[in-house]
Amino acid sequence: METALYLLPVTLGDTPVENVLPVYNKEIILGIKHFIVEDVRSARRFLKKVERSIDIDSLTFYPLNKHTSPEDIFGYLKPLMSGESMGVISEAGCPAVADPGADVVAIAQRKNLKVVPLVGPSSIIMSVMGSGFNGQSFAFHGYLPIEPGERAKRIKVLEQRVYSEDQTQLFIETPYRNNKMAEDILKNCRPQTKLCIAANITCEGEYIKTKTVKEWQGKLPDLSKIPCIFLIYK
């Protein structure tokens, strides 16, 4: 096993590991003793899901969040600089994509340390794949503003980019605000603009549906308890 910073994808929800992760990932994980993680508890659960016999107490976890300083991250990477492989684990999906893991990778790259991204589920990429929208040019915007006026303004700006740049636009919301987000899209976008709602990707009850704004009117499902990605295109 080559010494490197391995970016370790995590299952989305309760999806069985064998459904979405290659056996190779497990082999790599079992060779790592140091993990930089977005959440220690969920990382420990994921590793046990990968291999029940793994000795969790023999592993070292370094918490990574918006409060982690570059100096802290540099300190976390000392095992890697000493020749020990390390892993980066997000709460779900691929680390370093819409995720604080990107800060770790940036510092590793500056220090000329080897970085190896492993294969695994990305809700962003998979939603584009299932939408039927432009996969050559797309932009992910994370969360839109919470304030209603600002959010409406932002939705209209993104819709304009769909038409002026021929670019798919993606964004997310917390589950309890999903219904309001969907309603705001229908209220602020053109009738012919297409909206794809992608929910529970790779999980039980997976839902990926594309319709025009006009076709969605009065037919929105209840999205209040499931993680969703919203995509708009022409």
Helix runs in the chain, H state only = 17-20, 23-29, 40-50, 70-76, 78-81, 101-110, 123-131, 148-165, 178-188, 213-216
Q: Enter the tokens of residue 64.
A: 């990574």
- φ, ψ at 78 (rounded to 5°): -60, -40
Query: In whole angstroms, how far apart are CA 8 and each of 90, 101, 222?
Result: 8, 10, 32
pLDDT profile of the chain (234 residues), mean per 10? 95 90 95 95 94 93 90 94 96 88 93 95 95 97 94 97 97 94 96 97 93 96 91 97
What pLDDT is recorded for position 227? Answer: 87
Q: Enter the tokens of residue 149.
A: 């006026």
Q: Please report, as a single letter, which amino acid is at residue 179.
A: N
What pLDDT is recorded for position 62? Answer: 96
Q: How far apart are CA 147 and CA 123, in angstroms?
A: 26
